[in-house]
Amino acid sequence: MIKYDDHVHLSPIKGRKINGQDLITSEEMIKSMDKRDIDVSVIMTTSLKGEGSNEEVLEIIKKYPNRFMYMATFNLCLNETDLDKRIKEEKEKGAIGIGELVENQEIESFDIQKLFKVAEANKMPILFHMAHQMGNSYGIYDKALLPELEKSLKKYKDLIIIGHSQPFWYEMYNKNSDVSPEERNSYPKDIVNEEGRLFDLLRENSNLYCDLSANSAGNAIMRNKSMGIDFLKEFQDRLIFGTDIYNKDQYFPLADYLKKLLDDGDINKDIYEKIFSKNFEKVFLH
């Protein structure tokens, strides 16, 4: 089994920072991957020009073609024809998807809807970061219970949309529309035994997938052990492992937790392999 990490950020050189921390270099990332038993990581582009651009990421992949893949970023101000051309160009160069989509726009905005339409036509999955508010944040925005995401999932049925970040995973246990932005952007620890809106969205929309990266996903899966296991079992075909690692000293406990669930017999080998390998290959390498 080839094990994939579908979400990393890195730099080809030392000295760059993100969130005030040193951004991990290509060489440091490979050491980290070897330590974590990850064969291939997907680099998320973060800007159109300069560091983290599509061009810079491609240079990293040329140097380490067997260890990295990438998702591309695009200028959403392009008209539909030019956006279609740019997506085709990056796909030809090897981009396996679009991500990390971080523009702070509402999902129903013209630019986001245009991107969804063109991405669907080009069979390019989109991995998004969901914001908790408009302004002073990053990521596409939707209200609690994700009504606009639901509309887009139904409108673009052939587009695979992959959810990520605290406000997205908050919905694993939430069925309340009256929630503060701060609460949606947190890592709740209280034990909730009621299924949230995310269960409904996954049951009703076969094109919705979940990125298991960062502590947002880890917190949601590990917060309630029995419900987390139920979630892994029911949606085993729509979960893709990732870390969102950007610093060499970061540790995300979900990988070890999933291995323990496997060793303890709480999930079977097929579920484990789907999360770390098969689902990735189905979505990105078909």
Centre a 10 Å sphere on the Cβ of residue 167 and count the other Cβ atoms it contains.
Answer: 29
Confidence of residue 50 (pLDDT cuts 50, 70, 90): low
Average pLDDT, the chain: 95
Could you read off the pLDDT of 20-43 as tens digits, one per residue?
Answer: 888 999 999 999 999 999 999 999
Which residues contact residue 93 at a Cβ distance below 8 angstroms, ignoring those fewer than 6 apart?
54, 58
Is the pLDDT score of 8 beyond 80?
Answer: yes
Q: 16, 13, 46: which is closest to 244 by C-alpha?
A: 46
Tell me the residue range of the domain where 255 lies.
4-284
Cis peptide before 89 (omega within 30 of 0): no
Is the pLDDT score of 46 beyond 80?
Answer: no
Distance CA 267, CA 229 (A): 7
pLDDT at 49: 62
Distance CA 49, CA 51 (A): 7
Distance CA 44, CA 125 (A): 13
Could you read off the pLDDT of 211-242 as tens digits, one per residue?
Answer: 999 999 999 999 999 999 999 999 999 999 99
pLDDT at 12: 86
Could you read off the pLDDT of 87-101 as tens digits, one per residue?
Answer: 999 999 999 999 999
**Total number of domains constituting the chain:** 1
pLDDT at 15: 84
Could you read off the pLDDT of 129-187 as tens digits, one per residue?
Answer: 999 999 999 999 999 999 999 999 999 999 999 999 999 999 999 999 999 999 999 99
- Per-residue CA distances from 207 to 82, 88, 178, 201 (Å): 26, 21, 27, 10
Distance CA 131, CA 139 (A): 5
Of 15 and 246, which is predicted with more confidence? 246
pLDDT at 51: 62
| CATH code of the domain in which 258 resides | 3.20.20.140
